[in-house]
Amino acid sequence: MPVAGAPGTYHDIVVDEDDAPRLDLLVARALGVSRSQAATLIADGRVLVGGQRQRASFRAARGVHITAHVPPPPGREVLGEQIPVSVVFEDEHLVVVDKAAGMVVHPAPGNWTGTLVNALKGRGQALAEGDAEERQGLVHRLDKDTSGLMVVAKTDQALRVLSKAISERRVTRRYAALIWGHLPEDEVVIDKPLGRDPNDRIRMAVVPGGREARTDVVRLGRFTSTELLRCHLHSGRTHQIRVHLASLGHPVVGDDIYGGGGARKVVGMPPARHFLHAAWLVFTHPVSGDRMEFRSALPEALRQSLLTVAELPDLIASPNPLEYFDFYRADR
């Protein structure tokens, strides 16, 4: 299923109310875009009501079919840049990186440079073509301020096989998260559909009719006002872990978008950072069939924050506190 409003997609909208809003508002709501963007699509003839062009102020009757085409962005060359990037494994088929917080994964409006794709191309390596130049090689993604492990395909074959494995949930992706408050149980399954927030297109939300999303959560440590969790993704929706945890009333510490950004000094968190780290990645090599397993220690900023909230002297000497909390135990 295409993401609503994604470039290069077509959408069918059926009016299901008697007092429908103006066409521009209706399209904006259905696609998760701004009203001005919807008006531009209408003016460019990319929105048809019953096969006919209409004005932005037009109000359609119940049962009318509306089609909308969101065009792909104009082509733009993605240049390689000399940007430091932590590579933990590489062969002729793929590369596994440990992405730093603050790095955007791929070029997009507002971030055409300085991304992970720019950095990988700057190393002089080939990347799988994918569906667009700016997303070359990407099998999955991490939010800008989420750190940790990612696998990137260097060949089209690797991209095809790994993407299929992701969709069939045969890639293990587990994240360390620090949340505000305390869960009612040690293990929680969050199975809630996600989609664009109808009131704020920058945010995602739990919405009826959204895309299926499941996150399995295990509590590893309970502290005065926070808890350390291991989150296992069964799907990979945008902001999934952050939205799922916030929906329980326990947002990720430092998450300014979903309600966890306050009281940073209490937990020793730096600005513009949330406590979410992709710490464990397991998959089958797309060519050799070998089991590939990678572990990433907490970045220093998150390690210091965990030391602050845990108040456990034994942790000070541990280079990776996640091992102390049995994060990597396969039976949990």
* Calpha distance 27→22 (Å, rounded): 9
Using a 10 angstrom Cβ sphere, with 0-12 exposed, 13-18 middle and 19 or more buried, the burial of residue 249 is exposed
Contacts of 246 (CB under 8 A, 6+ apart): 252, 255, 258, 259, 260
Find the catalytic residue in 24, 98, 143, 145.
143
Determine contact, residues 253/260, Cβ cutoff 8 Å: yes
Instruction: Quote the tokens at residue 177.
Output: 């998260």
Active site residue 145: no
Residue 141 and residue 138: Cα distance in Å, rounded? 7
Both tokens of residue 237?
């929706």
> How do strand 226-233 and strand 172-180 relate by DSSP bridges?
antiparallel
- Which residues form the catalytic set? 143
